[in-house]
Structure 1
Amino acid sequence: MLDAELAEIVDNLRAIGADIADVEVKKAQGGLPKSLRATLSGFANTRGGMIVLGLDETRGFAATGLPDPARLAADLGCMCAEDMEPPLRPLIKIHDFEGAQVLVAEVPELDPAQKPCYSRGAGITKGSYVRVGDGDRRLSAYEVQMMLSARGQPREDEQPVHGASLDHLDAVGVDALIARLRISRPYAFQDLDRLAVLRRAKVLVSGDGGDDVVSLGGLLALGRYPQEHFPQLVVTFVHYPTETGGRSTERFLDNVTLEGPVPVMVRDTLAVVRRNMSRRAVIAGAGRQDVWEYPETALREVIVNALVHRDLSSGARGTQVQVEMYPDRLVVRNPGGLFGPVTVDSLGEEGISSARNAALIKILEDIPLPGETRTVCENRGSGIRAMLDSLLAAGMSPPDFDDRISSFAVVLPNHTLLSEEAVGWISGLEEKGLTDSQCIALALLRQDGLLDNRAYRDATGVDSRVATSELQDLVARELVTQIGSRRWARYELSWRTAPAKSRSARADRRPELLLALGSRALSRSELVTRTGLGDQAILRWLKIMREEGLVEIVGSSSRSRHVRYRRTRQGQLFRPEDTDRD
């Protein structure tokens, strides 16, 4: 890490006023804090992070320094190598910062095959942590087991279900699966007899006595009534009348348990959600359109994913897939967090997918939803992207994903970003040339308050390069304000978007820039100092004024911040009342 990067991190901490998820600050005047082992474990088990010793959070992250930084660096390296399992190898460096020496340790995230990292003295159950917010939370025994199972491919869906034979499967469904496999995958299945097909597809596996027994995945995909063996492998649906789900005159508007094999549970859950949905009006092109509260594609994908990716280990078989409907959101929750290389940040990215229940999903590739020709799942890693695209097409906010190791939840907000009221608000800003994605981002900012590059991409479907360019354009237009920089950059609405602002209050920066220039030639950085405007706003207005012939570049035409600008003859004659931005 460079000294400039450390300065940027501390500036962001001071702006926020507290530690953040991937930075932990300690004063460390008396040596290494005991809590550091938990922080090392938490960073290694989550997304990695940075430990900074020698700053005092209670004094606004002032640089207090360290009495013996070299000794502290050696002690920290020893703690990482000898006290942690597996041993950690962070990058440790001493920095001169604001007249004091501070110690920075960059702790990388461990590969899933090595998690959990834990303190040897406390043991794997009591010494394993994850990073939550700006603190460290100890993992439960079940969460530790989930991390251990992620080191390899779980096989719970291939386990035999004792007492379950072919008689427990739907005969019509079995015949349809066999016929489809022989056609769609002839190399693997065409020349096999009926039982051999089911064995290769892992619908049947060997029992304790060597006889054919139905697998857990086979029972969930094709069973007549899987809940006879596993009563809690169901879907529960509850419709709450209030946003908190708390007390009301009517506790539930609907309360249903959905049973059967996975295809039937998908169909019936979709039917129940539809029954409880309303229709709403949204802006579509030049008019209004009535649509359901949640797009069909998003509903189907979120329900299918919850059922096929849920944890099937013995510790989770008492937990249902839960669907909760509130006036402002729909929540779908399943036991077991994300598996393998997939993270919340990578969800929906092309080529990023991982299947906890590989055998079950492979079977469901060739089983259609009841009454439809499409199969339950495609197993192409495209489900989350399809969900995001359908929400984007409906003008809705992207879902919130909540991965807690022991559970995973998807929250679909019940609103459209580009409602008639939101479109009217954006029109009132009187900014020409905004892209559709910038309009969506403004509406999202108005709703949630803060936005980053990742959230912009999820909400709009654009790539990182376009997101960065369009966000900077919004900053230049002074519609949003940037907080922090680089990977800590966040954006919020500026004063210009306040409801009380009218057309006459819109900011035209030409007069003050021309006044600041006077008869001199100034650079952008000098104009920033003289006017107090942001660099992006200065750059935008200088471009406009050059196109209008009010200013010109002196010398080189480079885009450097040090290029100088001066007023033209036309600029000397400029009067504010002569200008109409429209």
Structure 2
Amino acid sequence: MPDAGIEDLDPRGVQIMLSRIRSNNPRLFADEPDEIVLKMLGVLRKSPSGELRPTLAGLLSLGRYPQEYFPQLSLTFVHYPTTTGENSATSTRFLDNVRIDGSIPEIAREALAVIRRNMSRRALVSGAGRQDVWEYPPEALREAIVNALVHRDLSPGTRGTQVQVEMYPDRLRILNPGGLFGAVDITRLGDEGVSSARNGSLLRILEDVVIPGESRTVCENRGSGIRTMRHELARAGMSPPKFHDRVTSFEVTMPNHTLLDEETVRWLGAIGRDGLKDSQRTALALMRQNELLDNAKYRAATGISDSRTATAELQDLVARELVDQTGTRGGARYSLSEYARSLDSTGQTKPVRPNRRRQILDLLAVHGDLSKTEISTLLNINAKSAEYWLATLRREGGIQFTEPQRGTKNARYRLADKGETREEFRP
């Protein structure tokens, strides 16, 4: 920044950062003068004439007023009255309209305050009962705002475009200049070990710059922002964020509704199946809204990072006959079963759910012994469901193996001998 000087940096912010970095890494920084440390961090750089001047990253991180040099490196917030924007009936263009200037830490802090004052509180029903929460989880908002500010494109051609936050009755939209950078693509966002930084120097500085009024730094959770966003939304019983990547921009949209509202919680209770994980409940609620899930979408919605865990939980839902699967392996897709979809929140359903326990016991009484494949064929159910109910009946002591060949594909089952205990049939 050839026209900027050290006086353009906020002295208090600089001293807080220097104190923090010297404390955290005394071997490198404890004995160095302030200007040398700032040069080592990339806040300052020598100009052709030999003077130390702020870099763009330094000015955005610690500047008094970066907009003196780049007026559009700011954030705008608009709260619209309808889902399409302006209310034509009343000629109301917006409910709030704010431009936020300053350094990135100051913009992040003020943007969160502005969004909060425009938010309402809603009811969330969970195992702990009914509680009032913000429309959007504050931690998810923080990560989305910081990501937009630090990952935006800062090349000369985009410096005339600001980060935009738009609030509608049904969603919050955050748009920043520049699409995804490097090897990251939309399908791998938030995966462990997958990250790419367009503005590496800026991110490095912001790891040690504290947000005004807080003890945390701007990029305290570097590399985990998307995962945090998804986790916080899932924890609040909300749909996962939606991402849209273009060459010139990147968009995050958070739907303004809760998946686990009172009616959905009653519906999940009416399913009446013990042992469902919170992640499975979230997926069922999403499928109830006609979402078609695959492994990647399941992980995005639930915050699970391991694809094998996601597959196991999805297969468990298939086995419980709550979810139907089409395709296999990487092409597997999951949707709500007819039974689960027909069940209302009072537990009433038109198609009566078959009593699989009774059916399997009756089959074994007639045939003597059967394999999992034979039971699956006779009952016209998938192999996972047959396996699930056979394991359940074995745990309950109702059936047993004909021979000690556990775990083999050729295992056959018969009714348990009278007088045998449940313990003997535990898998």
Q: TM-score with structure 2 length normalisation?
A: 0.87
How far apart are residue 565 of structure 1 and its match? 3.7
Structure 2 CA distance for partners of 1:523 and 1:181, relative to 1, 3 Å: closer
5 Å-filtered alignment, 1:15-414, equals: 161-245=1-85, 248-249=88-89, 250-378=92-220, 380-414=222-256
Per the alignment, residue 314 of structure 2 pairs with: 471
5 Å-filtered alignment, 1:409-558, equals: 409-462=251-304, 463-497=306-340, 498-499=342-343, 502=348, 505-513=352-360, 518-519=366-367, 521-547=369-395, 551-555=399-403, 557-558=405-406
Q: Determine helix, strand or coil for the equivalent of 1:427.
A: helix
1:342 is matched by which residue type in structure 2? V
How far apart are residue 293 of structure 1 and its match? 1.0
Q: Give, in whole Å, the separation in 1 of the partners of 2:259 and 2:330.
A: 26
Q: Deviations over 1:500-549 (max 9, x none)?
A: 56268233124544565633644333333333211112222233344555
Q: Give, in whole Å, the separation in 2 of the partners of 1:486 and 1:243.
A: 39
Q: Does the 8 Å CA contact 1:362/1:379 hold for their aligned counterparts? A: no
Q: Does the 8 Å CA contact 2:343/2:349 hold for their aligned counterparts? A: no
Q: Does the 8 Å CA contact 2:230/2:302 hold for their aligned counterparts? A: no
Q: Does the 8 Å CA contact 1:204/1:214 hold for their aligned counterparts? A: yes
Q: For structure 1, which runs of at least 5 residues remain unmatched after alignment? A: 1-160, 571-582
Q: Does the 8 Å CA contact 2:158/2:177 hold for their aligned counterparts? A: yes
349-358 vs 502-511, greater mean Cα deviation: 502-511
Q: Does the 8 Å CA contact 1:522/1:565 hold for their aligned counterparts? A: yes
Q: For structure 2, which runs of at least 5 residues remain unmatched after alignment? A: 419-427
How far apart are residue 399 of structure 1 and its match? 1.8
Q: Deviations over 1:320-344 (max 9, x none)?
A: 1111112222121212223334343
Q: Deviations over 1:1-32 (max 9, x none)?
A: xxxxxxxxxxxxxxxxxxxxxxxxxxxxxxxx
Q: Determine helix, strand or coil for the equivalent of 1:558.
A: coil
Q: Give, in whole Å, the separation in 2 of the partners of 1:181 and 1:541.
A: 59
416-425 vs 431-440, greater mean Cα deviation: 431-440
Q: Give, in whole Å, the separation in 2 of the partners of 1:461 and 1:532.
A: 34
Structure 2 CA distance for partners of 1:547 and 1:376, relative to 1, 3 Å: closer
1:433 is matched by which residue type in structure 2? G
Q: Deviations over 1:551-575 (max 9, x none)?
A: 54334533344433455688xxxxx
How far apart are residue 279 of structure 1 and its match? 0.2
Question: What is the aligned residue count?
Answer: 410
2:401 is matched by which residue type in structure 1? I
Q: Does the 8 Å CA contact 2:299/2:307 hold for their aligned counterparts? A: yes
Q: Give, in whole Å, the separation in 1 of the partners of 2:133 and 2:383.
A: 43
2:147 is matched by which residue type in structure 1? N
Q: Give, in whole Å, the separation in 2 of the partners of 1:460 and 1:218.
A: 37
Structure 2 CA distance for partners of 1:182 and 1:551, relative to 1, 3 Å: closer
Q: Give, in whole Å, the separation in 1 of the partners of 2:309 and 2:47.
A: 56
How far apart are residue 482 of structure 1 and its match? 0.7
Q: Does the 8 Å CA contact 1:323/1:330 hold for their aligned counterparts? A: yes
Q: Determine helix, strand or coil for the equivalent of 2:367.
A: coil
Q: Give, in whole Å, the separation in 1 of the partners of 2:64 and 2:416.
A: 83
Q: Deviations over 1:344-391 (max 9, x none)?
A: 344334443332212112222222112222222226423333333322
437-446 vs 304-313, greater mean Cα deviation: 437-446
Q: Determine helix, strand or coil for the equivalent of 2:289.
A: helix
Q: Does the 8 Å CA contact 1:242/1:248 hold for their aligned counterparts? A: no
355-364 vs 459-468, greater mean Cα deviation: 459-468
How far apart are residue 248 of structure 1 and its match? 3.7
Q: TM-score with structure 1 length normalisation?
A: 0.65
Q: Determine helix, strand or coil for the equivalent of 1:496.
A: helix
Q: Alpha carbon RMSD of aligned pairs, Å?
A: 2.6
Q: Give, in whole Å, the separation in 1 of the partners of 2:149 and 2:167.
A: 17
